[in-house]
Amino acid sequence: MKLCMIGTGYVGLVSGVCFSDVGNTVYCVDKDKKKIEELNKGNVPIYEPGLEEILKKNYKQNRLKFTTDLKKAVSSSDIIFICVGTPTKKNSNSADLKYVFSVAKELKKIIKSYKIIITKSTVPVTTGDKIENILKNLGHKRFYLSR
Ligand SMILES: NC(=O)c1ccc[n+]([C@@H]2O[C@H](COP(=O)([O-])OP(=O)(O)OC[C@H]3O[C@@H](n4cnc5c(N)ncnc54)[C@H](O)[C@@H]3O)[C@@H](O)[C@H]2O)c1
């Protein structure tokens, strides 16, 4: 399958690399250009045992791609994973969901055909409904899955 990880941090990168290793083509997208440049040079920003080796193997075999081009990655993929951060808000115990909702708004502009969207970010109950509301009226059949 063709997969798109939006957010190439601990969760998006590790999941994306593992998905590519079982045969999927994976687009890892991040808005951090420097991170994407380094990943395209084979420089892994985090330490996870075995990650660098698996990443390099799948990158060479063209199953793993690192890009800032969200539109191309989403258009080329069947399944989209939202893996952006949800930091705790200042002076509150609740999660700041602005990055998740910002991705949903970007997806609404880009998506032109059927996609499965999965929220991998840690979010409170009802966030899936809010994302679905943002994506409403895409004008074609779609399916939404929450983590
Ligand atoms: N780190 C963990 O062990 C862990 C475990 C379980 C769940 N989670 C959850 O997973 C989510 C991601 O955590 P993480 O540790 O990978 O975060 P992270 O901060 O390491 O990575 C998030 C990435 O998303 C990118 N990003 C933000 N907005 C973007 C956008 N609009 N388009 C493209 N990229 C964008 C950031 O540049 C960053 O590289 C959080 O909700 C976290 O709570 C994390």
Three-class SS of 96-145: CCHHHHHHHHHHHHHCCCCCEEEECCCCCCCHHHHHHHHHCCCCCCCEEE
Q: Kindly report, residue by residue over 67-108, the tens digit of the pLDDT.
A: 999 999 999 999 999 999 999 998 888 999 999 999 999 999
- Look at residue 35 and tell me whether its pLDDT is greater than 80: yes
Residue 52: C-alpha distances to residues 9, 44, 45, 83 (Å)? 14, 6, 10, 20
Best substitution site from 14, 84, 108 to test ligand 1's pocket, by max atoms within 8 Å of Cβ? Answer: 84
The protein residue with its alpha carbon nearest to ligand 1, atom 18, reads: 9
- Look at residue 142 and tell me whether its pLDDT is greater than 90: no
Mean pLDDT of 8-37: 98
- Of 76, 64, 56, which Cα lies nearest the Cα of 8? 64
pLDDT at residue 48 in the model? 95
> To which residue do tokens 């989209």 refer?
80
Helices 51-60/10-21 angle, 10° precision: 60
Instruction: State the amino acid at position 74 in one-letter form.
Output: V
Question: Ligand 1 atom closest to Cα of 12?
Answer: 16
Residue 102 has phi, psi (to 5 degrees) of -65, -40
pLDDT at residue 138 in the model? 64
